[in-house]
Amino acid sequence: MTRFQTLMAAATAAFLSFPAFAHDGVRITEAYARSMGGVGASGAIFFLMENHAMEDDRLIAVASDVAQKVELHTHKAGDDGVMQMMHVPEGFPIAAMESHALERGGDHVMLMGLTRDLKDGDVITLTLTFERTGDQVIEVPVDNARKPGAKAHDMGAMGGTADGTMPKGHNMGAMDGTMHKGHNMAAMPDTSGLSDSDAVIATLKAQFDTPENPLTVDPVVVDGDHALASWAQGDKGGRALLERRDGVWQVILCGGPDLRMPAFLAQHGVTAAETLSQMFNAAEDGLGAEKVALSSSFEGVVMITEPASE
């Protein structure tokens, strides 16, 4: 039973004669938008659609002046198990008296090439076009810190795996929709007895290293319960932020240039962001400009785990 049906059942039980709905369209609730970057970056919008009509409907188009391109997207695991985002030109169906959620890691509205910064509390105007009921304009608040599955003001909510931050791809040069999510299910390595940096390396390898595509990790810098590492795999490189929870290292996100910025680290739960950043940048610089450039070649940010302290 969908959530909406559950609501309906509860309402029907409460009122023996159930009143007709006042409107015929699709009701939109719990809308929010988030973005990891400024102008030119990408973002995503999530909401719940409830079809209060006796006929099926379908969200077929979206439009907003907040981005150069606005599309309906979903996530799907490819043959290699790697999660990818893709455009869904046919849109999202909402059956009669059913609901359909756009949520992190699933269906979403993709904003590509933001025309302005999305700051918490900003409001975006989004036009939704439904196949049966036509256009509906909604106001969407920006909530960059919202966790997957969390309701507004529900700050105690759960973590989750790779979310819908959507770094790159979409044939837009600066983006590539591939998420390094395929190996998330790898068993956690036993890192007891290892030094912090060896434990970080073991954690990254458990998640991303494969015989065909070996991963090298260097340098690793640890400060308290956070670690930054540079990695290389084939001709690709990037950086990873890790966090230790209950003694276990977890990969929070992968990215490129952002991970050298204290402000970005602070945004993702690193308490001593300035210190960690200085230590890491010095260690990486020590390996030479070529190494730094390779790690900076990773475009966008891929969320692997939600930071616990966010």
Q: Is-contact 228 259, C-beta < 8 A?
A: yes
| Least spacing, CB of residue 42 vs Cu ion, in Å | 7
**Is 104 a residue that touches Cu ion (CB under 5 A)?**
no
Query: What is the DSSP secondary-structure string of 80-113?
Result: TS-EEEEE-TT-EEE-TT-EEEE-TTSSEEEEEE
| Least spacing, CB of residue 76 vs Cu ion, in Å | 11
Q: Is 182 helix (H, G, I), strand (E, B) or coil?
A: coil
Chain-centroid distance, C-alpha 264: 15
How close are the terminal C-alpha atoms of the chain, in Å? 32
Among 28, 33, 126, 166, binds Cu ion (CB under 5 A): 166
Continuous segment of H or E residues that includes residue 12: helix 3-14
What is the rounded CA–CA span in Å between residue 208 and residue 32?
A: 31
Contact string 193-212 vs Cu ion (x = CB under 5 A): --------------------
| Least spacing, CB of residue 85 vs Cu ion, in Å | 4
Q: Is-contact 169 175, C-beta < 8 A?
A: yes
Among 33, 70, 85, 220, binds Cu ion (CB under 5 A): 85
Among 52, 73, 181, 226, binds Cu ion (CB under 5 A): 73
**Is 179 a residue that touches Cu ion (CB under 5 A)?**
no
| Least spacing, CB of residue 55 vs Cu ion, in Å | 29
Residue placing its CB nearer to Cu ion in the complex, 57 or 107? 107
What is the rounded CA–CA span in Å between residue 201 and residue 252?
A: 14
Query: By CB under 5 A, which span of 17-25, 32-40, 163-171, 279-287 interacts with Cu ion?
Result: 163-171
Residues of this chain, 249-268, that bind Cu ion according to CB under 5 A: none
Q: Is-contact 204 251, C-beta < 8 A?
A: yes
| Least spacing, CB of residue 68 vs Cu ion, in Å | 14
Residues of this chain, 105-144, that bind Cu ion according to CB under 5 A: 110
Residue placing its CB nearer to Cu ion in the complex, 100 or 244? 100
**Is 221 a residue that touches Cu ion (CB under 5 A)?**
no
Query: By CB under 5 A, which span of 1-9, 71-79, 208-216, 261-269 interacts with Cu ion?
Result: 71-79
Residue placing its CB nearer to Cu ion in the complex, 243 or 306? 306
Task: Find, among 1, 28, 238, 236, the residue nearest to 124 by Cα.
Answer: 28
Q: Is 213 exposed, middle or buried (0-12, 13-18, 19+ CB in 10 A)?
A: exposed
Q: Classify strands 57-63 and 92-94 as parallel, antiparallel or unpaired.
A: antiparallel
| Least spacing, CB of residue 59 vs Cu ion, in Å | 15
| Least spacing, CB of residue 109 vs Cu ion, in Å | 8
Residues that bind Cu ion (CB under 5 A): 73, 85, 110, 166
